[in-house]
Amino acid sequence: MSVSLSGQLINLLAALLLLIAFAMLSQRRVLSLINLFAWQGVVLTISTLVVAMSTQQQHLYYSAALTLVLKVIILPWILHRLIRKLNVKWDVETLINIPTTMLVGIMLVIFAFNLALPITQLAGTITRSTLGIAIAIVLLSFLMMLTRRKAIPQVIGFLAMENGLFFAATSATYGMPLVVELGIALDVLVGMFILGIFFFQIRETFDSLDLRHMEKLKDE
C-alpha cells in the first residue's frame, strides 16, 4: 500500500487511541474500562501491522502478534478473571469529578502537542505527528492513575500508559529492537501476575481493594 495512505491510516488510528484514552478517563464502570483497554490493544495491533506493512520491518510483525496476544487476549482475560474471583463489580470512584478530569486532560493534550512540536518537525518517519499523541496518551493514563481511588483502575491506567509507550515505539520509531520488546513484554506479563497475587493478598488483608485502607504509612 502507498506510504501516504498508510500515513493517513496511522494518524486515524492514533486519533482513535486518543479517543479511547479519553473514554477510559471518563469511564465509570470497571468492566467497560477493561473492554476499552482491550480495544486499545486491538487498535495498537492494527497500527503496528500498518507500520509493518508500509515499512516492511520484519520484527514489527512479531511485535504486532505479541501485542495481540498479550494486550488483547491475556491481560483482559486476567483482569476479567480477577474481577470474577474477587467479585468486585463496583463503579469506579474518582477523586476529582469527571468533567474536571476531562478538562485537565484536554490541557494535557495541548501541552503534549506543543511538547512534541520541535521533534515532529524533524521526524523522518511517515508518522510524524503520532509522537505528540503518544505523549498525550501517556500523560492521560498518568492522570487516570492518580484520579482513581481503587486498585484495579489504577492498574489499568498503568497498562494504558504501557500501551501509549508501545504506540510511541512502533509509530515514531518503527518499533524498538526485538530483544527489548520481548523483555518489555515479559516484564509486563510478570508484573501482571504479581499484581494478581497482590490483589488477593490485599483483598484478604483489607477485605477490599480500596486504596484508602492503605494510607497508614506516613510521617506526621
Partner 1 sequence: MEILWLLGMPLFGGIFLATVGCRRFAPEVNAVFSFATFIAAAVLTTRIINDGPITAFDEQFFIDSFNVFLVALTAFVAFTTSLFSRPYMRIEQHHGRLTINMLRLYHSMYQLFTFTMLLALTTNNMGIMWVAMEAATLTTVLLVSLYRTPASLEAAWKYFILCGVGIAQALFGTILLYFAAERVLGPGGDSLLWTHLNAVKTQLEPTVLSLAFVFLLVGYGTKVGLAPLHNWLPDAHAEGPTPVSAVLSGLLLNVALYAVVRSKVLADGALGTNFAGNLMMGFGLLSVVVAAFFLSRQKDVKRMFAYSSIEHMGLVTFAFGMGGAVATFAGLLHMTVHSLTKSAIFFAVGHATQTTGTQLMENIRGLIKQSPTIGWGLMLGTLAILGMPPFGVFASEFLILTTAMHSHPWATPILLLALGVAFASIFAKVQPMVFGETDLPRLPHPPALVPVFVHLALVLLLGLFIPPYLAGWYQQAAALLGK
Partner 2 sequence: MTLLPIDIAGGVVVYWLVLGMFSLLLIGSPKHITQLIFPAGALGALVLAGTGLVALGQTPNVAVLPLGLPDLPFHLRLDALSAFFLMLLGAAGFAISLYSAGYFRHMEARALALLALQYHFFLASMALVLLANDAYLFMVAWESMALSSYFLVTTDHKVPEIRKAGYLYLLIAHVGAISILLAFGVMQGGHGIAAYTFDAMRTAHLTPFWASITFSLALFGFGAKAGLLPVHVWLPEAHPAAPSPVSAMMSGIMLKTAIYGLLRITFDFLGGEIWWWGVLALTLGLITALFGVMFAAVQTDMKRLLAYSSIENIGILLVGIGLAILFHANGKESLAALALTATLYHALNHAFFKSLLFLGTGSVLHATGERNLGRLGGLIRRMPWVAALVLVGTLAIAGLPPLNGFVSEWLLLQAFLLTPDLPQPYLNMLIPVATAAIALAAALAAYVMVKFYGIVFLGQPRDEKLNEAHDAGWWERLGLAWLALGCILLGLFPVQVILQLDHVTQALIGDTLGMSAAKTGWLFLTPIAPERASYSPLFFLLAILVVLLITFLAVRRFYHGRLRRGPAWDCGFPEQTPRMQDSAEGFGQPIRQIFEPFFLIEREVPSPFDREPRYHGRSEDKLWYGLYLPIAKAADKLSAWISILQHGRIHLYLMYSFVTLLLMLVLVRWS
**Contacting residues toward partner 1, per CB under 8 A:** 57, 115, 118-119, 122-124, 131, 135, 138, 142, 145, 151, 154, 158, 161-162, 165, 168-169, 172-174, 176-180, 183-184, 186-187, 190-191, 194-195, 197-198, 201-202, 205-206, 213-217, 219
What distance in Å separates the CA atoms of residue 193 and residue 187, rounded to the nearest whole number? 10
> Please, what is the minimum distance in Å from the beta carbon of residue 175 to partner 2?
24
Residue 161's binding partner, choosing from partner 2, partner 1, none, with beta-carbon cut-off 5 to 8 A by kind?
Answer: partner 1
What distance in Å separates the CA atoms of residue 209 and residue 203, rounded to the nearest whole number? 6
122 near partner 2 (CB under 8 A): no
Residue 207's binding partner, choosing from partner 1, partner 2, none, with beta-carbon cut-off 5 to 8 A by kind?
Answer: none
Among 146, 180, 186, 190, binds partner 2 (CB under 8 A): 146
**What are 212's three cell numbers?**
484508602
Q: Which stretch binds partner 2 (CB under 8 A): 38-46, 69-77, 139-147, 181-189?
A: 139-147
220 near partner 2 (CB under 8 A): yes
What's the per-residue H, E or C state across the chain?
CCHHHHHHHHHHHHHHHHHHHHHHHHCCEHHHHHHHHHHHHHHHHHHHHHHHHHHCCHHHHHHHHHHHHHHHHHHHHHHHHHHHHCCCCCECCECCCHHHHHHHHHHHHHHHHHHHHHHHHHCCCCCCCHHHHHHHHHHHHHHHHHHECEHHHHHHHHHHHHHHHHHHHHHHHCCCCHHHHHHHHHHHHHHHHHHHHHHHHHHHHHCCCEHHHCCCCCCC
147 near partner 2 (CB under 8 A): yes
Q: Which is nearer to partner 1, 96 or 190 (CB)?
A: 190
Q: Which stretch binds partner 2 (CB under 8 A): 18-26, 83-91, 137-145, 179-187?
A: 137-145
Residues between 97 and 116 that touch partner 2 (CB under 8 A): 111, 114-115
Residue 1's binding partner, choosing from partner 1, partner 2, none, with beta-carbon cut-off 5 to 8 A by kind?
Answer: none
Residue 100's binding partner, choosing from partner 1, partner 2, none, with beta-carbon cut-off 5 to 8 A by kind?
Answer: none
171 near partner 2 (CB under 8 A): no
Residues 139, 116 contacting (CB under 8 angstroms): no
Among 53, 69, 165, 211, binds partner 2 (CB under 8 A): 211
Contacts of 161 (CB under 8 A, 6+ apart): 137, 138, 141, 142, 145
Q: Please tell me the count of residues contacting partner 2 according to CB under 8 A.
A: 20
